[in-house]
Amino acid sequence: MATQLSGKRVSGFSLVDEETVQNILSRLPALTFAYAACVNKRWYKICSQILKRPKLASALSLNPSLHDAVKEVIEQVLSEPIRPHFAIACISREFNLELAHGLIIEKLGSRIPIITNVSSGIIGVDGIANELFEEKWETTSGPNIQESDTAERGLVLLVGFLPGLKIGTIPLLQPRQGSNTLVDKFVMDILHYTAAVSDCAAPAGIIMFGDKTTDMKPIVAKMDCAMPEETVIVGDASADFIFRTGDDSLNQLVYTCCFQAVALVFARDRYKPEGLGEIQFHVTKSTGVLPFGPKLKAVCVVPNDSESSCVFARLEGQNGIMAAGAILNEIKQLFREEDTFADLYIGVTKETQRTSDSGIFTPGESLDFYKVIGGGEYYFTVNGFGIRTGDSFLFYQSDSATASSSCDHAFNKLLALKAELKSKNYLRLSNLADKDDKEEVLGGFIFSCYHRGESFFGDTFVDSYPFCNNFPTAPVAGLFCRGEIGRGPKSLMNEEYDDETSPRCCVHVYSTIYLVMSYLPPPLES
């Protein structure tokens, strides 16, 4: 129906006041909302006002049908207005990786960065049941198995609308015959991308996935040296992933190359719209390993095979090579007496250099973990390479009590962060500010060690509680993996017993990494 007003023909809906129209449009699902924004300039302006604030959306489905699971999570994340800028999906091994990736691209479009990763388990909220799940799956004999109808399957999806940030996908190609130059290029590509789109020298945050056949420790170590402490880096160090860059000219290359890693880079937009606040990245962790025994020094390190090294060691301050076999037998006997099942690692301290906030290189120390898989009379056999003669190390064992206490510590860290964000927002917002602007946390992502979970703690939801209990309404997604990348300011990353001089670990074992993304509104105009 139309009416005549001042000589012009006007539809009845155009007479509805702006507040009512905004109320109606804000209830639309994302696709209908996108169509509504194209109706006319007035509606586009109202839709832009509705989406003035950054937003994350997440959903989990345990539907055994891949097509139905994708349909469920897409419907949930697009049930409210959002314009996706990126997406991360984590699926079970029993789903086909390429098919899942294609279905998600079909639903979300090909013009945004999308990473799909095969994980050992997922964490998230099933929107249909409105229930939090920490779902962990047994390792299968081969990737992408389709035969078993009874196998546990599922996926979790996180999408983000982050105005004020530029989001790019930077890949790391597989090297030719052990060349290390590609890692240097990877780090420089990240910094060059940031410089091209931002006035900042380094990204605000990076979410990355490393191929399961690649040792991510030296790669992340180079990133750690090249970027200031404020750049938050999180991820899965043992992934099986596929990705789309959002640039059609590059995507053909993506499907014809093999990659060691991919980084989703979040850089502050040089041309951020006026009146927009600041998105911030925060990271903390819960550790699950306990150091014990005296400090040792590597005397000699030799390759054992294509995947492991033999380490000859001595007690620090002494000259004789240790009887490694006897020590390992003593440790095993101690575990038996305490009726403890524990994985054994050595934590190796290495000298390194880091970039300060002013761009100056300063000396520092890093901590890398290597799993002890055996040994001989005078040597320990460990997974991986990179230990050098003269490096110091301690033994570490997996320990559920340590992990539980560390989860409490992570909870308290996030509780303090929550109070800090509320205080900052209070100073910037008036009593008349929109309710949405008072919700400081946009959402988060959890990377948890596969060996944790209910079987490790003897209880459910221990890994997710530090985030979910502090931010119960914030969207969250997560995965179980076999190498957790977590790096950021020491104020949030340090454990209770750490200090400013403690070596920094970036690729963890038996840990849970909590990424929190928050929004600080712009100051009110005086």
Instruction: Give Cβ neighbours of residue 336 (< 8 Å, ≥ 6 apart).
Output: none
Question: Which range, 3-12, 436-445, 484-493, is most confident?
Answer: 484-493
Cα 417 to Cα 56, 205, 280, 334, 518: the distances in Å are 19, 17, 12, 40, 10
In order of 37, 436, 437, 446, the CA distances from 19 in angstroms are 16, 16, 18, 38
Measured CA to CA, the distance from residue 350 to residue 220 in angstroms comes to 14
Mean pLDDT (whole number) for 312-325? 91
Structure token pair of residue 357:
């906030």
Does residue 168 contact residue 244 with C-beta atoms inside 8 Å? no
Q: Residue 197: is its pLDDT beyond 90?
A: yes
Q: Where in the chain are the domains?
A: 18-51, 54-137+151-286+400-525, 289-398
Residue 142: band (very low, low, confident or very high) from pLDDT cuts 50, 70, 90: very low
pLDDT at 18 over 90: no
Q: Which two tokens stand for residue 204?
A: 């605000």
Render pLDDT for 423-474 as a digit per residue (tens, 0 to 9): 877 666 554 444 444 568 999 999 999 998 777 777 777 889 999 999 999 9
0.85 surpassed by pTM: yes
**What pLDDT sits at residue 151?**
61
Class for domain 289-398, per CATH? mainly beta
Check: CB of residue 124 under 8 Å from CB of residue 75: no
Question: What pLDDT is stored for residue 161 in this prediction?
Answer: 96
pLDDT value of position 64:
95
* Cα→Cα distances 29→7, 72, 243, 429, Å: 36, 14, 26, 29
Both tokens of residue 234? Answer: 């999180």
Q: pLDDT at position 43, please?
A: 84
CA neighbours within 13 Å on the CB side: how many for 246?
18
Does residue 3 surpass a pLDDT of 70?
Answer: no
Could you report the per-residue pLDDT of 347-367, keeping only the tens digit for each? 999 988 766 656 666 788 899
Q: Is the pLDDT of residue 8 over 60?
A: no
Cα(328)–Cα(332) distance, integer angstroms: 6
Structure confidence at residue 251 (pLDDT): 63
Q: Per mean pLDDT, which of 171-175, 239-243, 334-338 is the most reliable? A: 239-243
Residue 489 CA to residue 491 CA, distance in Å, equals 5
Identify the pLDDT of residue 319.
87
- HSE (CB half, 13 Å, CA atoms) of 427? 6
Write down the pLDDT at residue 10: 42
Q: Under a CB-based contact definition with an 8 Å cutoff, are residues 484 and 236 in contact?
A: yes
Closest CA to 123 of 488, 497, 484: 484
Q: How many residues appear in the chain?
A: 526
The residue ranges of DSSP E strands in 34-146, in sequence order, are: 55-61, 86-91, 114-118, 121-126, 131-136
With pLDDT > 70 as the criterion, what percentage of the chain qualifies?
86
3-state secondary structure of 227: coil
pLDDT band of residue 122 (cuts 50, 70, 90) is very high
Task: Tell which wins on pLDDT, 143 or 322.
Answer: 322
- pLDDT tens for each residue of 147-180: 444 468 999 999 999 999 999 999 998 876 655 6
Asked if 122 contacts 156 with a C-beta cutoff of 8 angstroms, the reply is: yes
**Averaged confidence pLDDT in the chain:** 87
pLDDT tens digits for 386-429? 999 999 999 999 999 999 999 999 999 999 999 999 887 766 65
What pLDDT is stored for residue 143 in this prediction? Answer: 42
Q: Please tell me the predicted confidence (pLDDT) of residue 357.
A: 58
Residue with tokens 């998600």: 104
Q: Which residue has the higher pLDDT, 27 or 12?
A: 27
DSSP letter for each residue of 334-349: HHHHTT----EEEEEE
* pLDDT band at residue 141 using 50, 70 and 90 as cut-offs: very low
Question: Confidence band (pLDDT; 50, 70, 90) for 502?
Answer: confident
C-alpha–C-alpha distance, residues 89 and 59, integer Å: 10
Q: What is the pLDDT of residues 80-96, one digit of tens each?
A: 999 999 999 999 999 99
- Render the burial of 245-271: b for 16+ CB within 10 Å, e for the rest: bbeeeebeebeeeebbbbbbbbbbbee
Where is 464: in which H helix or E strand? none
